[in-house]
Amino acid sequence: MRSMHVFARLVPALGMCIIACSSGSSSGGDGGSAGATSADQACSDFASAGCQKLSSCTAFLINDVYGDVATCTTRLKAACSDGLAANGTGLTPAARESCAQALPGAACADLVVNNFPSVCRAVAGQLANGTTCGDSSQCQSTYCNLGADGACGACGAARLAPGGACHRDDDCTYGSTCTMGMCVTPSTSGGTCDSPHPCQQPLACKSGVCSTPDEAGASCTPGSCNQLAGLYCSTTDGRCTAIGLAKAGESCGLVGGAPAVCSGGGHCNVVAGAGRGTCEAAAADGASCDPTSGPTCLPPAVCGATSKVCTLPNPTSCH
């Protein structure tokens, strides 16, 4: 059992930003002049800023997907370093440092809808359309279509407009998210909503209209509670209640009548007909995985659609 869709979507989106975001336009490396920020320092600052910002927006998400901020930072720093070393990249350490400085001031609502600061967006690289890539900033078009596997793909013409079929948020134009396999621009306050047309978080869909979410302890209806805060509407008393976080080996699913998800990217092995099960830790990079039956992978690693192996995206290996 994983948590709600927004939780499953936001961290990979931030992971893609860590790999692909930049404001520079020269080839990868140390950024040129003496005294400039080193690649290692830039990636440390970038990953730390991204994970700290994510934690301030939704601490529940950090615990659910990574377990803690430190693990998030370590994982995203590795992805950052690989992005700087990719062939044909337009990324620079200076650009990553600029994004690190911009992320703390970014609005949580923007980050959730794939609308990163301008200095945190992919830039033109050297690879032509159709060339193998693993990072959008390798491509002249600023878009690498990673397909179903999510590790290596090919430079595409452009990100998809709302209505286009997608695999992840980075397939869609900025400000749109990949929802139920289609690029969608989430509705703002007062807009209409349903499952295929979600609200911009943390807004909740109430009677088909995007509205302020209900907070902990408030009376609620299904789907009206603040998801970014890790809340659900309890069927026991009709009030917004915190979703439980269980560690590997602990009970998950419906525990005591309340839902509990597995922290640290783990998977809940639910016993058929029981509604509850036991948390299984996320698989290590290079280990077997299954997004349906588990084990799952620790982001930004992805479970290959064909290989069924946890693969940490590394554009330097895409040729």
Q: What is the rounded (10 degree) CA torsion for 193, 118, 99, 91?
A: 120
Residue 151: pLDDT band (50, 70, 90) is confident
Rounded-to-integer distance, Cα 149 and Cα 159, Å: 17
Report the run of H or E that residue 6 belongs to, with start and end: helix 5-20
Helix (H) or strand (E) segment spanning residue 207: none
With vertex at residue 220, the alpha carbon angle to CA 230 and CA 108, rounded to the nearest 5 degrees, is 40
Residues with Cβ within 8 Å of 242's Cβ and at least 6 positions away in sequence, in order, are 216, 229, 230, 231
Q: How confident is the model at residue 37 (pLDDT cuts 50, 70, 90)?
A: confident
CA–CA separation, 155 and 270 (whole Å): 39
Residue-wise pLDDT tens digits, 262-273: 999 999 999 888
Average pLDDT value for residue range 165-194 = 94
Give pLDDT, residue 274: 81
Chain centroid offset of residue 197 CA: 19
- The one-character DSSP state at 168 is S
Q: What was the pLDDT predicted at 13?
A: 45
User: For residue 55, what are its two tokens?
Assistant: 């934690």
Picking from 71-75, 211-215, 248-252, 290-294, which range would have the lowest pLDDT averaged per residue?
Answer: 290-294
**Cross-sheet strand order for the sheet of 276-280:** 244-246, 258-262, 251-255, 276-280, 267-270
Does the structure show a pLDDT above 60 at 34?
no
User: Is residue 75's pLDDT more than 70?
Assistant: yes
Question: DSSP readout, 97-162?
Answer: HHHHHHGGGS-HHHHHTT---GGGB----SBPTTSEESSGGGBTTS-EE-TTTSSSEEE-S-PBPT
Which pLDDT does position 277 carry in this prediction? Answer: 94
Note whether 201 and 6 are within 8 A (CB).
yes
User: Is-contact 136 129, C-beta < 8 A?
Assistant: no
Identify residue 206 by its one-letter amino acid code.
K
Q: Provide, rounded to the nearest whole percent, the portion of the chain with pLDDT above 70.
A: 89
Instruction: Give the DSSP letter string of 44-102.
Output: HHHHHHHHHHHHHH-HHHHHHHTSSHHHHHHHHHHHHHHHHTSTT----HHHHHHHHHH
Instruction: Look at residue 153 and tell me whether its pLDDT is greater than 80.
Output: yes
Give strand pairing partners of 246.
262
pLDDT for residue 149: 82
Q: What's the rounded Cα separation, in Å, for the pair 160 and 91?
A: 22
| Confidence band, pLDDT 50/70/90 cuts, at residue 10 | very low
Lowest mean pLDDT among 2-6, 115-119, 151-155: 2-6
Is 60 exceeded by the pLDDT of residue 106? yes
Average pLDDT over residues 51-73: 94
Query: Whole-prediction pTM value?
Result: 0.84
